[in-house]
Amino acid sequence: MIYLDHAATTPISDAAREAMEPFLGERFGNASEPHALGRAARAALEQARRTVAERTGCEPRQVIFTSGGTEADNQAVFGLAGDEPGRIVVSAVEHPAVREPALQLERRGFAVAWAPVDGNGLLDVEAFRDLVRPGDRLAAVMWANNVTGVIQPISGVAAICADAAVPLHVDAVQAAPSLPLAFAAAGTATMALSAHKLHGPKGVGCLLARDPSAIPPLIFGGGQEAGRRSGTENVAGAVGFAAALAEAPPADDPRRALRDRLEAGLPDGFAVVSADADRLPGHSLLLVAGLRAELLVLALDRAGFAVAAGSACESEDQEPSHVLTAQGLNAAEARSVIRVSLGSGSTSAEVDGFLAALAAAFADLRTGALA
Ligand code: PLP
């Protein structure tokens, strides 16, 4: 199977697996216990925190380990919003891990202003500037989109929020594997990361918080993570996350050239969504008008290639992706996209093989559709 679905998840790296192994075996202690096994676990957890902090440009005390990106996003949105209804500004293309908490707040009486994007899926910065008002509880704009790969102008967004003194939450789950992270310099209040998107284990991530004491916990219990996230610490997960994060993306990312090769070789009938926007280097969303994406994904699967229809989190939905309708695709078009996401190990032979399989699957399906 040729795996071209790295935006959904990535294979764990050797470094992450090896770093985790002792903590799945003989170093199994509970990091909150004072005995030697507990202390060893605590030391490893705090070393992982320092590594994450160093790699993301923040202080160790600003790292709250969570069960992944979804929990980090939820904690930021609910935490920054507070309990009493107020107003929040959220981009129209957020991942469900941000969008659903925002909709939940709306049901609790909050006003949600949805910030629009243009036809390429780029945030309309002037509209965003007009929407953000002093007193808003938070603004949320993702760094890079999981469906289209579009990279948002986060430093400009952060400046607008700083002018209005509105805390900004940035979902950096998709950006982290490809873009250099600098939390403090980015000027955001909070940022969410997930290990399994960057060759770490599933079920672990973190929320970076400029002022962790301003972010209330989502999960209450024994007061771990300095009271910000209760629950026995996932030491192996944090260690694997840190090891994966320590392997920096190459400065000259080879995925970009491969992606360009893929897009240049597409069969007639395919268009690239968000082609004119700055996108993640390995990410390509292909629109094939008049064909249900699932059929193509299944045909490619039979040919030995793993790609996604839309995005993994929405593949089972019957609804067309809100990300794509927000940038002007109609419902039929939004159901006719496949997402190809290359990894650091992807090769030009794989891309060429994929293009041949795509052309063959498309020809078969089109003949079937017309028969
Ligand atoms: N945010 C974005 C942009 C994502 O792509 C994902 C995963 O698909 C998440 C959040 C959720 O992260 P996790 O799978 O760690 O819960």
Please give the Cα distance from 348 to 31 (Å, whole number): 45
Please give the Cα distance from 191 to 146 (Å, whole number): 16
Please give the Cα distance from 321 to 147 (Å, whole number): 9
From the CB of 66, is ligand 1 less than 6 Å away? no
The token pair that represents 345 in the structure block: 């190990």
Instruction: Say if residues 258 and 6 touch (Cβ distance below 8 Å).
Output: no
From the CB of 97, is ligand 1 less than 6 Å away? yes
Residues 201 and 342 in one domain: no
CA of 235 to the centre of ligand 1 (A): 21
- Going from the C-alpha of 132 to that of each of 111, 127, 168, the distances in angstroms are 12, 9, 10
Helix, strand, or coil (residue 113):
strand
DSSP secondary structure string for all residues of 309-338 = ES-GGGTT-SSPPHHHHHTT--HHHHTSEE
pLDDT in tens, 20-55: 999 999 999 999 999 999 999 999 999 999 999 999
Please report the pLDDT score of residue 371 as a whole number. 44
Please give the DSSP secondary-structure letter assigned to residue 100: H
Please give the Cα distance from 58 to 68 (Å, whole number): 18
Please give the Cα distance from 174 to 240 (Å, whole number): 18
Residue 166's CATH number? 3.40.640.10
Residues 286 and 206 in one domain: no
Please report the pLDDT score of residue 181 as a whole number. 87
Q: What are the phi and psi torsion angles at 282 (to 5°)?
A: -105, 10
Please report the pLDDT score of residue 206 as a whole number. 98
Please give the Cα distance from 352 to 213 (Å, whole number): 51
Catalytic residues: 313
CA of 70 to the centre of ligand 1 (A): 6
Please give the Cα distance from 354 to 174 (Å, whole number): 23
From the CB of 142, is ligand 1 less than 6 Å away? yes
From the CB of 70, is ligand 1 less than 6 Å away? yes
Domain termination site, one of 229, 246, 263? 246
Residues 268 and 216 in one domain: no
From the CB of 146, is ligand 1 less than 6 Å away? yes
CA of 355 to the centre of ligand 1 (A): 28
Residues 44 and 87 in one domain: yes
From the CB of 341, is ligand 1 less than 6 Å away? no
**Torsion angle (degrees, nearest 10) of CA 155, 311, 79, 45:** -90
The token pair that represents 318 in the structure block: 């019957």
The token pair that represents 206 in the structure block: 């973190």
CA atoms within 13 A on the CB side of 244: 29
Residues 193 and 105 in one domain: yes
Residues 357 and 273 in one domain: yes
Residues 62 and 207 in one domain: yes
CB count, 10 Å around CB of 332? Answer: 12
Instruction: Say if residues 171 and 73 touch (Cβ distance below 8 Å).
Output: yes
Residues 237 and 284 in one domain: no
Report the number of distinct structural domains present in the chain: 2
Please report the pLDDT score of residue 316 as a whole number. 55
Name the residue with the closest Cα to ligand 1, atom 13. Answer: 69
Residues 233 and 297 in one domain: no
Residues 158 and 304 in one domain: no
Q: At what angle do helices 254-264 and 348-370 cross, to 10 degrees?
A: 30
CA of 194 to the centre of ligand 1 (A): 7
Looking at the CA of residue 311, tell me the nearest atom of ligand 1: 8
Domain termination site, one of 246, 261, 281? 246
From the CB of 101, is ligand 1 less than 6 Å away? no
Please give the Cα distance from 42 to 55 (Å, whole number): 20
Please give the Cα distance from 130 to 329 (Å, whole number): 25
Q: Which residues of the chain have pLDDT under 50?
A: 370-371
pLDDT in tens, 336-352: 999 999 999 999 999 99
Instruction: Give first-to-last CA distance, the chain, whole Å.
Output: 30
Residue 293's CATH number? 3.90.1150.10
Please give the DSSP secondary-structure letter assigned to residue 189: S
* Residues 6+ positions from 49 with CB-CB distance below 8 Å: 60, 63, 65, 238, 242
Looking at the CA of residue 202, tell me the nearest atom of ligand 1: 15
Residues 66 and 33 in one domain: yes
Please report the pLDDT score of residue 310 as a whole number. 75
Please report the pLDDT score of residue 370 as a whole number. 46
Looking at the CA of residue 68, tell me the nearest atom of ligand 1: 15
Residues 159 and 268 in one domain: no
- Domain housing 298: 2-10+251-367
Please give the Cα distance from 262 to 274 (Å, whole number): 15
Please give the Cα distance from 93 to 132 (Å, whole number): 17
pLDDT in tens, 188-216: 999 999 999 999 999 999 999 999 999 99
CA of 173 to the centre of ligand 1 (A): 6
Domain termination site, one of 211, 246, 281? 246
The token pair that represents 78 in the structure block: 């609910």
